[in-house]
Amino acid sequence: MVGPITKSAVFLVSLLLAGVALGWALQLVDRLVSFPKLLPAPINFAGLALIAFGSGIRLWAGVVFYNQNPSMVSFNVPPKLVTTGPWRYSRNPLYLGLIMIGLGFSILFFSYSDLILTLVGAVLLHLEVVMHEEKVLSEKFGNIYLDYKTKIRRWI
């Protein structure tokens, strides 16, 4: 059986590889539409710090989640409400890490297209996923979740 660290790390590595591929592709889009570079070199390497920080949050959150729930990818409500680890600081650390990684790749690849895609993705994630999850978690966990919501911020 694969453990929580391995599950979380494999997902993170696939996410980072997709980010690199998408970053290169969107960098080409920027050139085709004549967008200027987002930031000059070597400032763009600050994106690596954001990618690293977002990856750390994502990895930590994944391990904590998998320790308490068998699967992260599910359309079912998780059997246990996770309130430990990074969930002590944010109700959405998995998504927060993902957004930070996206912003980091935007900076690293100098890409306005990547930045636009990340920001639109973050808004859609909030409106379509986070809002739905909060409703479902409120229904399943009731006052326990409502109390948690009053103590912990949605994002940071």
Q: How far apart are CA 36 and CA 40, in angstroms?
A: 10
Q: Is the peptide bond before 78 cis (omega within 30 degrees of 0)?
A: no
Domain, as residue range, for 59: 4-151
Q: How many domains does the chain have?
A: 1
Contact call for residues 146 and 89 (beta carbons, < 8 A): no
Please report, for the domain that includes residue 63, its CATH number: 1.20.120.1630
Residue 21 belongs to a domain: yes
Residue 82 belongs to a domain: yes
In this predicted structure, what is the pLDDT of residue 72?
Answer: 67
pTM value?
A: 0.93
User: Going residue by residue through the chain (156 aa), what tens digit of pLDDT does each one get?
Assistant: 689 999 999 999 999 999 999 999 999 999 999 988 878 888 888 999 999 999 999 999 999 999 998 776 666 778 899 999 999 999 999 999 999 999 999 999 989 999 999 999 999 999 999 999 999 999 999 999 999 999 999 998
Six token digits for residue 15: 């996410």
Residue 26 belongs to a domain: yes
In this predicted structure, what is the pLDDT of residue 36?
Answer: 86
In this predicted structure, what is the pLDDT of residue 38?
Answer: 78
CB atoms within 10 A of CB 124: 11
In this predicted structure, what is the pLDDT of residue 73?
Answer: 64
Residue 156 belongs to a domain: no
| Direct distance between the N- and C-terminal alpha carbons of the chain, in angstroms, rounded to an integer | 34
